[in-house]
């Protein structure tokens, strides 16, 4: 009825992203931005979609454009922090997550990312206090999932394994309750979509992503800082 109405295209793109239809999401969101270049939410979600596609440089460019228009946009700051983490820039990532918290002190994703980003120690009691307070404040179950896993990691890092297990179990219970029952056909469709999206050609365009080393990953509890 209104093919040039940007918002429905943007909303469709968000829904497609949430359903892991990433190429369709990218097309919808790009069209929404083309129709309305100052459509910040669509550009933010385009960045999130590109990040899921592994196109970190393009995602970073989207987030940067959003931040030029809205320097306090927590979604784009969080996205920049996630990209910095993927690239191994852990100090830069933590700065981004702390900028998010300075703007929105109760954003669960930012608090969770701080714990995932580095090895936690007993000196991080203030982080633990805030994370537990937010987790128990009635936030969305999926937001609590991320925080519970992060809190579990904190306790694992400080070798309080009983409390770590409690939080990991709570996170898994919430995740199970919040997700749909297993659907074999839907799972097959999702895997087929992943195979289609991450084709040989698509993967060949991700030069520079990840590490070129063939050495195995090894974590030493006593000395690891990451």
- pLDDT, tens digit, 9 for 90 and up, residues 129-140: 999 999 999 999
Give the pLDDT score at 225: 41
Q: What is the mean pLDDT of residues 77-89?
A: 94
Q: What is the pLDDT of residue 110?
A: 96
94 close to 119: Cβ distance less than 8 angstroms: no
Residues sharing a CB contact under 8 Å with residue 178, sequence separation 6 or more, in sequence order:
141, 142, 145
What is the rounded average pLDDT of the residues 27-55? 95
pLDDT, residue 189, reads 86
Distance CA 155, CA 168 (A): 10
The candidate with the shortest Cα–Cα distance to 61, out of 74, 50, 52, is: 50
pTM, whole model, 2 decimals? 0.78
Q: Are 41 and 64 in contact (CB under 8 A)?
A: no
- 3-class DSSP state for residue 11? helix
Tokens of 152: 């579990």
For the record, the structure tokens of 1 come out as 């009825």
Percentage of the chain beyond pLDDT 90 is 70
Gap between the Cα atoms of 34 and 22, Å rounded: 18
């Amino acid at each position: 009825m209104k093919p040039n109405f940007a918002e429905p295209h943007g909303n469709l793109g968000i829904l497609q992203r949430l359903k892991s239809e990433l190429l369709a999401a990218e097309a919808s969101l790009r069209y929404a931005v083309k129709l309305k270049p100052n459509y910040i939410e669509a550009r933010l979600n385009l960045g999130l979609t590109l990040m899921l596609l592994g196109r970190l440089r393009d995602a970073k460019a989207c987030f940067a454009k959003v931040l030029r228009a809205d320097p306090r946009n927590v979604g784009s700051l969080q996205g920049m922090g996630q990209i910095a983490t993927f690239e191994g820039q852990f100090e830069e990532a933590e700065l981004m997550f702390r900028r998010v918290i300075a703007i929105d002190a109760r954003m669960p994703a930012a608090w969770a990312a701080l714990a995932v980003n580095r090895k936690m120690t007993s000196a991080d009691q203030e982080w633990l206090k805030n994370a537990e307070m937010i987790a128990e404040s009635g936030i969305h179950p999926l937001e609590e999932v991320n925080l519970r896993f992060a809190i579990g990691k904190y306790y694992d890092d400080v070798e309080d394994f009983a409390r770590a297990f409690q939080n990991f179990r709570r996170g898994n219970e919430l995740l199970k309750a919040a997700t749909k029952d297993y659907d074999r056909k839907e799972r097959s469709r999702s895997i087929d979509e992943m195979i289609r999206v991450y084709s040989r050609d698509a993967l060949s365009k991700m030069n520079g992503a990840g590490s070129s080393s063939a050495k195995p990953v090894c974590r030493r509890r006593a000395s690891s800082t990451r």
